[in-house]
Structure 1
């Protein structure tokens, strides 16, 4: 009987460490309305609404693809402003309270990341096809907007992963999965450092990943970053070379 009990406890311990748990609010965490910009769903809703408005109010004589790029740029910029307004102002305790209750979710991460990557590809390919036909200020303007779409999409992807890592670390009032130097209590900016290091280098730096659930997230994040950087950004470089060649 004692052996069975020990075995069951061991299995339960492994399952709790490896499986994705339900989100449990951290002690002291406050629940906000799902459209509140302090929540992931609220930020995404506000940014989407701003992007749609920008697309609808763009000059009607413009190509629909140009209007779409303008709408994406506006919405992505809005999302980044809302997110980084939280990231740069949060102390470790505030990060723990919010991240323990808020989970961007794997599905939301995947949806927005794939959308960002596809839209960046669309924008870059569109510019590659049109850049030689554009002349003067208009050509430079829309080329800049398309290249901006690539940069903003890259920033959105890793910003979302910043919130994801914070939640995985502080979920349920616990603090584990990542070992930061000097045993410091991490704030949002520390998770941003971790996420953007993976986005640029496809690897972690001085932060040690110490559990399977975070390794899964890091693996997927690294693969996305590699594909994104080698395909989307190479198209952006081709646009720049074409512009220099025409000049």
Structure 2
């Protein structure tokens, strides 16, 4: 699935979910429901389209020409960051509600952070694959095997959780720049996840 098609599917599913949710819940909740569905569709579509691909198939998919890919990545990352504002608004709303609404809104807010976190790392998994195969290299895997999507997911998740690469070396300036942006975003999400977790635990203990 090319980036344009994937983005349209995400937007359509997210808008449909929002349209239903806004009829049944406050806008703070409907926003998160729409994003959660859109983000989940994006992550699921990438998992389905990349699952089981060997290095040759990975290369073909990674270098496939699609002029909308940069815009699609920017929209998805922007939406992921914007959703963090929605999480804050939802938690404020949860504070004024009684159970079970309070617990449901809080759980939805936490789920939204997880979906956003997953979406960002999925975007960068595809980006590393594209940068690597378009340039014919840029990451030293310390092996003679060509990488597949699983290897690029390994890079993305390692950077996303530790803010550094582990047993691989980046020797490409474009990939290094992408890794820097990825690490900064990951730090932001790490702070938000920690703050959200503390908020959730504190609010549940106070009930």
Q: What TM-score results when the alignment is normalised by the length of structure 2?
A: 0.91
Structure with a larger share of its residues in helix: 2
Alignment of 1:210-221 (within 5 A): 210-221=171-182
User: Distance in 2 between the 1:151 and 1:82 partners?
Assistant: 17
Structure 2 unaligned runs (5+)?
A: none
SS in 2 for 1:181: coil
Q: Is the 8 A contact 1:55 1:70 kept in 2?
A: yes
Structure 1 unaligned runs (5+)?
A: 1-37
User: Distance in 2 between the 1:73 and 1:61 partners?
Assistant: 16
The residue aligned with 2:46 is 83
**Cα deviation per residue 1:85-132 (whole Å; 9 max; x = unaligned)?**
123221111101110125675444333212211212321x12332333
SS in 2 for 1:182: coil
- 2:74 equivalent among 100, 110, 130: 110
1:154 matched to 2:114? The reply is no
User: Distance in 2 between the 1:97 and 1:47 partners?
Assistant: 23
Q: Is the 8 A contact 2:31 2:86 kept in 1?
A: no
Q: Is the 8 A contact 2:94 2:105 kept in 1?
A: no
Q: CA deviation at 1:41?
A: 1.6
Q: Which has the higher contact order (CA 8 A, sep 6+)?
A: 1
SS in 1 for 2:100: helix
The residue aligned with 1:192 is 153
Q: CA deviation at 1:224?
A: 1.6
Q: What TM-score results when the alignment is normalised by the length of structure 1?
A: 0.77
Give the greater-gyration-radius structure (CA).
Answer: 1
User: Distance in 2 between the 1:219 and 1:141 partners?
Assistant: 36
1:47 matched to 2:10? The reply is yes
User: Distance in 2 between the 1:72 and 1:57 partners?
Assistant: 13
User: Distance in 2 between the 1:130 and 1:246 partners?
Assistant: 16
**Cα deviation per residue 1:22-75 (whole Å; 9 max; x = unaligned)?**
xxxxxxxxxxxxxxxx11121111011000001112252411111111111111
Alignment of 1:68-147 (within 5 A): 68-102=31-65, 105-123=69-87, 125-147=88-110
The residue aligned with 2:142 is 181
Give the aligned length. Answer: 206
